[in-house]
Amino acid sequence: MSALVAPPRVRWWPGTLSARLFLILLAGLVIAYAMSFTVLFMERYVTARTVMLGTLENEVATSIAILDRLPAAERPDWIHRLDRPTYRYILGPGLPGVPDMTMRAKDIATKIEEAAGQRFPVRVEMIPGDGKRLQAHLTLSDGSPLTIDVHPAMAPLARWLPYVMVAQLALLVLCSWLAVRQAIRPLATLADAANTLDPNQTTPRMSETGPSEVAHAAVAFNAMRDRIAQFVEERVRILAAISHDLQTPITRMKLRAEMAEESVEKDKLISDLSEIERLVREGLAYARSTHVDGEADTRIDIGSFLESLVYDYQDTGKAVTMEACVGGAIVTRPHALRRILTNLIDNALKFGGAAEIVARRDADGALRLMVMDRGAGIPEEQLDAVLQPFYRVEASRNRDTGGSGLGLAIAQQLAQALGGKLALRNREGGGLSAEVILP
């Protein structure tokens, strides 16, 4: 079966749900705002145009009548009083123009012709070089030429209007962001709760307050969390019970085997029973490692603790050294921490022949305990798998060379119970580094 290929991701489309919702909501609001503004602007334009044409007709008719009744010598004194922002009067023939006009110019020309009436024939022309300017030419009763110079223009926008538009757009952005944040926050809370979910630790339950949909999801998540914890605890109890109950019959079998006559089969039987007994003990230890709540937190000096552990190994002739160590007190469960380091040191001695211990603090204050060896290391693709119970890198099922596959799993369980984690990495030049990171 061919592998499923994920569809190519659109580059301009954001990857987070919050960004997508924000863009969709903001785009809808901006488009609606733009449509409303366009409708208002068009309505204002039509109203202003109607008012301008109506005013133009009335004022032009009045102005022509006044200029026609005035003596020619007095007309220059009155001409400037009759000017308006969009048109003015010129006592003269004006400028030469062309008859071709736009629709807007034709409407203005019609209004001027209606204002002049049949008494004063009007010739309206566009002025070349300016697509908006036009002039209306007529002759007064005494034969004097009169030109109406028109500069059509919309009423200017108010100065405060751009600031209001910017403020409205900023309000749209803010409201969109708040709405998306309010909608995404429960999802982020649920994701955080899922990431911190650990059936082996007592973690706070997810809050079941808020909107009905959020509260319902929180209740369902907490119920799932309880079911998982109950399931894991039940399986661990079964493993612990089986491991515990097997110890008695195995002990009886060993006693009976030892009472038998000396033979090669007797030695093999005792050896097999010893391996079974060791596996049962490690299974019981793994089951108990998931529940370390019985041990109270204690303040210890980490330097003295590690030195005591190293000296215990050196007293038995084991090649365990401490390369670097930080001092200071920490609050932890010392028996669980000792079991973690013991498992890691035993692995280093078994597969590397020697163990080096380094303790240091990270920049964030976390304590990092490293147990290193110069063995063959672990293939990169198996670094995570070896932390699972009963997984062994060594392919032959020999307990003496491959172990039971529970040492690292127990160490990981205990590290998580202490609020830390266990990480494995291969060292440069060969070997393995097992790092226990405690907050």
Q: What is the 3-state secondary structure (H, E, C) of 48-88?
A: HHHHHHHHHHHHHHHHHHHHHHCCCCCHHHHHCCCCECCEE
Mark out the alpha helices in 81-127 (DSSP H runs). 103-116
Degrees (nearest 5) of the Cα angle 125, 130, 134? 25
The number of angstroms, rounded, from the C-alpha of 169 to the middle of its chain's C-alpha atoms is 24
Closest CA to 168 of 159, 160, 157, 156: 160
H/E element, 227 = helix 212-258
- Strands in 87-197 per DSSP E: 87-90, 123-126, 134-139, 145-150
Q: Could you tell me where the DSSP H helices lie in 259-368?
A: 264-289, 302-315, 334-352
AA identity, residue 257 = A
Q: Looking at this protein, which amino acid is placed at residue 7? A: P
248: Cα separation from own chain's centroid: 56
Give me the domains of the chain, ranges plus CATH numbers. Answer: 20-150 (3.30.450), 292-438 (3.30.565.10)
Three-state secondary structure call for residue 288? helix
Closest by CA position to 76, among listed 144, 136, 152, 149: 144
Whole-angstrom distance, CA of residue 64 vs CA of residue 84: 14
Note whether 378 and 432 are within 8 A (CB). Answer: yes
* Interior/surface letters 91-103, b for 16+ CB within 10 angstroms, e for the rest: eeebeebeeebee
Q: Answer whether 372's CB lies under 8 Å from 426's CB.
A: no
Residue pLDDT tens, the chain, 439 long: 444 444 555 566 666 777 777 788 888 878 887 888 788 777 777 776 676 676 777 888 888 888 888 888 888 888 888 888 778 888 888 888 887 777 777 777 888 887 777 778 888 888 877 667 888 888 888 888 888 888 776 655 667 777 887 888 888 888 888 888 877 788 778 878 877 776 666 677 788 877 787 788 888 888 888 888 787 777 777 777 777 777 778 788 878 777 777 878 877 888 877 778 777 777 666 666 665 555 678 888 888 888 888 888 888 888 888 887 777 888 888 888 888 898 899 888 988 889 999 888 888 888 888 899 988 888 888 888 787 776 666 544 444 545 556 778 888 888 887 888 888 888 888 888 889 888 8
Structure tokens at 80: 């400037």
Give dist(CA 343, CA 25) in Å, integer: 56
Exposure on the CB side of residue 196, measured as CA atoms within 13 A: 13
CB 424 within 8 A of CB 365: no
Strand pairing report for 134-139 and 145-150: antiparallel
CA distance 93 to 87: 16
User: Sign of the CA dihedral 328, 330, 336, 340?
Assistant: negative
